[in-house]
Amino acid sequence: MVDRQSASEILYLSGFNPTFVAAGMEGFVFDIGDALLAKVWRTKRYGEVEQLGFFYDQLREKHLPFATPKIHNVLRAQSGDFVVSIEERLPGTALKAILERDPENNMLLKKGIDTVFSVVNNLQTVGDIPIVKRLSLLGEPSLWTPRSTWGAVLGDFMTLRVSQHEMLLNRAVANLEHKVSRVVTLLKELSIAHLGVIHGDICPENVLVDEFTLTPIGLLDFGFLTTSADPLFDAVISSLIFDMYSPRSQHTKESLRKRYTQLHGQAFDSIYPLYKAAYALATSNAYSEDGEDGHFRWCVAILNDEETNALVS
């Protein structure tokens, strides 16, 4: 398994002079000069990163009002054991960094919520890009087939993820088997007229903004849950993960949920509990295998809350 030190060594041996920028679930990012970044991937294979690059190229053709990633090259490093992507460095400052400078500033928080809301809504204008259905989800091969429906794909993906950590989830989630069965049934009953590209992880860490106006100018890190889906799934996720752990998390979640309900009407509020439960089931062990992390506990709290219990009753 690659770590920050070994990722840096991989880049040195590949002829780069890297400066560490950030670490994420999928890899380590380094500045290599000339407005370029090098990302050393933890688990993605060469073909998966190449597919992601093809998707990025087609997404850019949609001319969103903010920049999206561009992969210039994909390299096999150290005899092919590691994959490195050479990417364009996007402009802007992470929204999270701006918000953390003044965490008690209510007006700043409101502007941050407005920014994420606008990014989600602008991405919904893209519509569907067929190649996105080929992308893996959390390291799992795509489950899309020509006859698939969105609800069936999400239900099957969620079931697969739960099966990999079922013993752990059973200890933490009341009536897990019933909840999974009921959520899958409800997902497969969905009839979604129009699918579109979803990012799957739109949060302040991944939104780049103008430092003074908080206007969104970049969106990073597609690939976590990027697929073809009901665009409302992206909206639900963004409301859940804008702020997951601070004392203000409930406020930000309710604020975004209210904004999306005002925009989309009762359809959004009705589907919110289902997508919330599906997201928690699918991603509970995304960050660790042992459930000893905050994300697992956050997902378990969702799966045991009143709204989820009412959904599956």
- Please tell me whether residues 215 and 252 are part of one structural domain: yes
- Please tell me whether residues 97 and 77 are part of one structural domain: no
- Please tell me whether residues 128 and 258 are part of one structural domain: yes
- Which of the two residues, 43 and 105, has the higher pLDDT score? 105
**3-state helix/strand/coil string of 184-242:** HHHHHCCCCCCCEEECCCCCCCCEEECCCCCCEEEECCCCCCCEEECHHHHHHHHHHHC
Among the candidates 62, 88, 114, a domain finishes at 88
Domain range for 9 is: 4-88
Which tokens go with 225? 């849950």
CB 38 within 8 A of CB 84: yes
Burial 44-79 (b: 16+ CB within 10 A, else e): bebebbbbbbebbeebeeeebebbbbbbeebbebee
Mean pLDDT computed over every residue of the chain: 95
Beta pairing class for 93-94 and 196-198: unpaired
- Please tell me whether residues 195 and 212 are part of one structural domain: yes
The per-residue pLDDT for 290 is 86
- Please tell me whether residues 76 and 174 are part of one structural domain: no
DSSP-based three-state secondary structure for 85: strand
- Please tell me whether residues 69 and 101 are part of one structural domain: no
- Please tell me whether residues 265 and 290 are part of one structural domain: yes
- Please tell me whether residues 80 and 227 are part of one structural domain: no
- Please tell me whether residues 185 and 304 are part of one structural domain: yes
Evaluated on CA atoms 8, 10, 13, 14, the torsion sign reads negative
Which tokens go with 282? 């699918």
The CATH number that applies at residue 66 is 3.30.200.20
Among the candidates 65, 88, 111, a domain finishes at 88
pLDDT digits 0-9 by tens, 118-150: 999 999 999 999 999 999 999 899 999 999 999
The CATH number that applies at residue 111 is 3.90.1200.10
- Please tell me whether residues 244 and 290 are part of one structural domain: yes
- Please tell me the pTM assigned to this model: 0.95
For residue 230, pLDDT over 80 is answered with yes
- Please tell me whether residues 106 and 229 are part of one structural domain: yes
Overall domain count for the chain: 2
pLDDT digits 0-9 by tens, 145-183: 999 999 999 999 999 999 999 999 999 999 999 999 999
Beta pairing class for 82-88 and 71-77: antiparallel
pLDDT band at 79 (very low <50, low <70, confident <90, very high): low
CA 161, CA 10: separation in Å to the nearest integer?
Answer: 31
Among the candidates 42, 71, 88, a domain finishes at 88
- Please tell me whether residues 22 and 151 are part of one structural domain: no
